[in-house]
Structure formats: structure tokens, C-alpha cells
Amino acid sequence: MTDLTEDLAENLNKRIIGQPSVGEQIAPYLTIHGAGLSPPERPVGVFLLLGPTGVGKTETVKALATELHGDASCMMRIDCAEFNMEHEVAKIIGAPPGYTGHRDTSVKERGTEARITQMKLVECSPEHYRPSIVLFDEIEKGADSLTKLLLGIMDNGILHLGDGGRVKFDDCLIFMTSNLGSRAIQGQDNPAPGFLPATKLTQKGIKRATMTAARKYFTPEFMNRIDEFITYRPLSQKAIRSILDLQILEMKRRIQQGGNKYLKNLRVPDSVRNALVEKGASSQYGARELKRVLQRELLAPIAKRMADPTFVNGSELTARLSQGVIQLRIKRPTKKAKRVSRQGV
């Protein structure tokens, strides 16, 4: 664990583009935990991630799960938007005695089984000596009773279930994400269409805006139980471009590993990448808009090409920009190349 946390901050910063200090705010809690110095009967760390949508808040938790457990899915994620009504919060702890579903396995498929149990929590961590990761996504969209439920978890690491059981969170990292303060951040500047220049926003100003919004929304007792507030800034054009480069690399990897069709190479020149950034940069949706643009403008046409019956394995595709439109040029392998390819297989 000690060796892992030494490089954790640097690895997280590499994964979370445009947010240079995220790793340094998370790693110390794992170092303390690894040394056995974490406060007893309390989560390893409780974090509130604040900032606009699409800037890397949820991605931070996925990156941490990958670093700790080798898989981004090795965590428990609670989508708080599913619990925006007071009565729906009961789904998290299960039905109490006297209510339909209490200890009735035949109705568990209807949602009466507790969403969080000790077994589910342990299963989130392949190696039990490492802390499990729990994410409450978009916490502000949950009902007030959800934040009240979290008070006990954050304070003494205990969640009381409907059947009288308990779930211990003393070996867990608790993350909550929120878009509170986003409008205030975007209102600090008057950007050109498509971008909210991060250079014109100070980190201090961003933190002030998000913390003011959080204090207005959450109660003082809730805020006092949070260990670390991490603020995320809007993505700059440079950050958007770096994210695009990573997404194209991942797309190439999927293309080369998937299906029965073999694409030898995919070339995406700078002119095409710049056009994708211009179309996908958004101060309102962050990197999520870029992902949609990449799929629509590049991935879908590539898939259509490869699905064509005339497609030849080992072909190369080159993206090019023609009058603002991204086009694909295909280069089929020569007979000699096809012969070498068959011999290699």
C-alpha cells in the first residue's frame, strides 16, 4: 500500500486532464490509512467534488478505482438522482420490519432489498486490505433524507439497515459529486463561443463560488463532516485537446481488439483533431460534448466503413478535413501485404 500511494497523486493527475491538484488532495488520506493512523470507526476519507459537469469529477473516482483495484468498475456507485423523493431513500437501506419486502426474498427483484450491504461493500474491493470506494453521484439531486442518512456514515462509519443490520464504512473512501456553483463559475467570465477560458478564472475564485453554493445548500453539520473539498475548473482548450488525444488512442485500441474486422491503422491528423475540438468544446457540457462529437463525426463513420461487405482486412483509414467536413480515405492492402498478414495469423 505504501509503494502504491507514493505514485498515486502523480498517476491521478495524469488521468484527470486539466485538474492539476486533484491527486495531491486524495493521496494523503491513503498514506495515513496505509500507516494504520486513520481515525477508528470512521471512513478513511470523505470528499466532496465540486464543479461544472464534464470536467472530471466522476472520472476521478473511476481513475482511483483503477489505481487501487485495477478496474474502474471496482466501486459502489449510488446515483442520487434516483432518490430525489423522500420515500425512495428507503431503497438504500431496505424495507423495515412490518413493511412489504422485509426478509421476503421473493420480492427482492422489486427493489426492496437494501442497495447497500456489507457484502456488496466488501465485493467492491478485490483486495480487502485496501479501502472500498463508494460514490454518491450528484448528491444535490437526492432528497434531504439522503444527506441525513449520510451524516451517520460520515460521522461514525455506520449505516443502519431496515432489517436491523449494520454496514460499516470504516474501511471506505466516500466520494460525493455536485454541480453546485457551476452557474456562478460560468458567470465570472464572458468567453468566446465554445470555451470558458480557464486562464481567466483563478482557482481561488472557483473555490469561493462553489463553496458559497455548497454552504447555502447543505447544513453546517453536513459540511463539517467532510474531510476535503475538491474544486474543478472549467476545461481549457489545451485540456480539451489532451482529452481528445486520449480518447482517440482508446478508440484505436478498441478498433484493433474488437470484432472480426482488422483495421491496420487509423490516422487522425492535427487538422481533423482541431476541428473535433472546435465542434466539441463546450463550457456547459465539458468533455462530455467532445465524446459525443467524436462518436458522431469519427467513430460512427469508421464503423460504417468496417461493416461494409467490401471492406478488406488490413486496410488503413485516414481522416481528412474537406470544407469543414471530416471524411475517411481508405487504403486497401496490397496482395503482398495480405499474404504476409495471412502467414502471420
Domain that holds residue 156: 2-234
The model's pTM: 0.83
Q: What is the pLDDT of residues 171-209, one digit of tens each?
A: 899 999 999 988 777 655 444 444 445 446 677 888 899
The CATH number of residue 310's host domain is 1.10.8.60
Cell of 221: 453539520
pLDDT in tens, 64-108: 999 999 899 999 999 999 999 988 888 898 866 544 444 443 334
Helix ranges (H only) for the chain are 2-15, 22-34, 57-69, 90-93, 118-123, 144-156, 182-186, 203-217, 220-223, 237-257, 270-280, 287-294, 300-307, 335-344
Of 190, 210, 234, the one marking the end of a domain is: 234
- What is the distance between the terminal CA atoms of the chain, rounded to a whole angstrom? 41
What pLDDT score was predicted for residue 134? 96
Lowest mean pLDDT among 94-103, 241-250, 318-327: 94-103
Q: What is the mean pLDDT of residues 127-143?
A: 87
Query: Of 183, 204, 234, which residue is a domain's last?
Result: 234
pLDDT tops 90 at residue 12 = yes
Q: For 146-164, what is the mean pLDDT? A: 91
Residue 262 CB contacts under 8 Å (≥ 6 apart), including other chains: 256, 313, 314, 341
How confident is the model at residue 264, as a pLDDT? 87
pLDDT at site 183 = 79
Q: Does the pLDDT of residue 308 top 60, yes or no? A: yes
- Which triple of cell numbers denotes residue 340? 504476409
| Whether residue 264 sits in one domain with residue 144 | no
**pLDDT score of 4 more than 90:** no
pLDDT of residue 133: 96
pLDDT over 80 at 114, yes or no: no
Same domain flag for 226 and 243: no
pLDDT at 294: 93
Shared-domain flag, residues 336 and 262: yes
Domain identity same for 98 and 186: yes
Residues 56, 75: one domain?
yes
How far apart (Å, rounded) are the C-alpha atoms in residues 231 and 237?
19
Are 225 and 250 contained in the same domain? no
- The whole-angstrom separation of Cα 69 and Cα 127 is 7
- Statement to judge: residues 193 and 127 lie in one domain: yes
pLDDT for 110 beyond 50:
no
Q: Which residue did the predictor score with more confidence, 154 or 261? A: 154
Q: What is the pLDDT of residue 237?
A: 85
The one-letter amino acid code at 200 reads K
Q: Is the predicted pLDDT of residue 215 greater than 70, yes or no?
A: yes
Is residue 1 predicted with pLDDT exceeding 80?
A: no
Give the pLDDT score at 334. Answer: 76
Structural domain total, the chain: 2
Average pLDDT over residues 98-123: 61
